[in-house]
Amino acid sequence: MAGPRAVLAGCGIAVPPLQVDNHMISRIVETSDDWIRERSGIVTRHYVEAGVSSADLGAQAARAALADGGVEPEEVDYVVCATMTPDHYFPGSGTLVQQRLGLDPVPALDLRQQCAGFAYGLQTVDALIRSGIARTVLLVGSDVHTSLMPFSDRTWEVLYDESAGPLEEADFQWNSRFRHLVVLFGDAAGAMVFRAAEGEGGRGILGARLYGDGNHSEILHVPGGGSRRRPFVSAEMIAEAETVPVMDGRSVFKLAVTRMPAVTQEVLEAHGYGLDDLDLLVMHQANLRINEAAQRAMGLPAEKVFNNIQKYGNTTSATLPLCFFEARQQGLAPAGSLVAFTALGAGLHWGSVLMRV
């Protein structure tokens, strides 16, 4: 595709200060530190305080990305925001992030590809800049999963204060129905800002391969809270926990460990590269066991794959920028590195984006 490339100028993250370890989780659901580590690799995750939204976190990450890239807020002429936990049913989060940053009125676009949202956002940024529609684009991925956890005030009290326990048995059994949600997910945001450039030294987003297939929509979804039901939210839905994500973990695992390696190789080959040319693979952080299996399938050495799910859990649309930010901090993605950003999430959506950073 002709035209300027979308070159990464800056990257930033926002991680809530409240760190929740597996032992704390075991106070409110039936699980243990060993059980969680063995099945997911997760040790800790971070939760926002009540009242902090995904747009709040997203704006924090965006400010950090702008500062990292030396980009003034008034230079941003397009905002793309990926989230599965928006502040409201509507309006979308893009304008809320724009407002919190104090930007002039600019186009603000929301994406709803869940765990693949940031990958879809990278291709969107690439298209906006290559087409000449925008020159400086801010991409934000932010999610607050604690907003989906249907817990009582008493549960939160016991979670944060060991001396407040033990939790009443009825609450404990209710919470344990949602063990998959509590164990796996955390709150965080990540952002990247891109400038239009001629791709000096080959830098920039090189291309993407993205896919969607609704035939797998039932393996990861929220049953209630949409237009299929009337009203779209009801007391009955809440009582039956139909506003909480439902997941067929076994099916997700099988699809992820085959499709993520395949699409990564596909985007590399489309641009004349092979796996040996890749400097760093950043995969969506859903489960460490998934990523280890995908790494083995591709035959990549450990030094070319970076994971941080151990510290943050699954932060859906924030995982890719959060992972890249820390990899870069550790010197794993110096300027000129060839990096693939690969993800799979509900929808089913999956894909890989190739970038020379």
The CATH number linked to 253 is 3.40.47.10
Q: Are residues 184 and 258 in the same domain?
A: no
Say whether pLDDT at 1 is over 60: no
Q: Are residues 177 and 229 in the same domain?
A: no
Q: What is the DSSP string of 73-94?
A: GGG--EEEEE-SS-SSSSS-HH
221 is catalytic: no
Of 201, 223, 252, the position where a domain reaches its end is 201
Contact between 213 and 263 under an 8 Å Cβ cutoff? The reply is: no
Enumerate residues 6+ apart whose C-beta is below 8 A from 162: 24, 27
287 is catalytic: no
Q: Are residues 193 and 230 in the same domain?
A: no
Q: Are residues 224 and 166 in the same domain?
A: no
Of the pLDDT bands very low, low, confident and very high (cuts 50, 70, 90), residue 320 is very high
Q: What is the DSSP string of 289-353?
A: HHHHHHHHHHT--GGGEE--HHHH-B-GGGHHHHHHHHHHHTTSS-TT-EEEEEEEETTTEEEEE
What's the alpha-carbon Rg for the chain, to the nearest Å? Answer: 20
Domain residues for the domain of 267 are: 204-356
Q: Are residues 171 and 309 in the same domain?
A: no
Q: Are residues 165 and 286 in the same domain?
A: no
Q: Are residues 128 and 139 in the same domain?
A: yes
314 is catalytic: yes
Q: Give the pLDDT confidence score for residue 202 in this predicted structure.
A: 86
Say whether pLDDT at 232 is over 90: no
Q: Are residues 281 and 174 in the same domain?
A: no
Based on the structure, what is the number of domains in the chain?
2
Q: Are residues 212 and 187 in the same domain?
A: no
Q: What is the DSSP string of 96-132?
A: HHHHHHTPPS--EEEE--GGGHHHHHHHHHHHHHHTT
Distances (CA, A) of 204 to 1, 191, 335, 354: 13, 16, 11, 9
The residue type found at 302 is A
Name the catalytic one among 46, 115, 175, 307: 115
Of 170, 201, 232, the position where a domain reaches its end is 201
Provide the mean pLDDT of the chain. 96
Taking the CA atoms of residue 67, residue 73, residue 75 and residue 77 in that order, the dihedral angle to the nearest 10 degrees is 120
Q: Are residues 196 and 214 in the same domain?
A: no
**How many Å apart are CA 351 and CA 181, to the nearest integer?**
24
Name the catalytic one among 284, 287, 291, 323: 284
Q: Give the pLDDT confidence score for residue 198 in this predicted structure.
A: 82
Q: Are residues 290 and 179 in the same domain?
A: no
pLDDT tens by residue, 50-59: 999 999 999 9
Q: Are residues 112 and 151 in the same domain?
A: yes
pLDDT tens by residue, 10-25: 999 999 999 999 999 9
CB atoms within 10 A of CB 18: 15
Of 153, 174, 201, the position where a domain reaches its end is 201
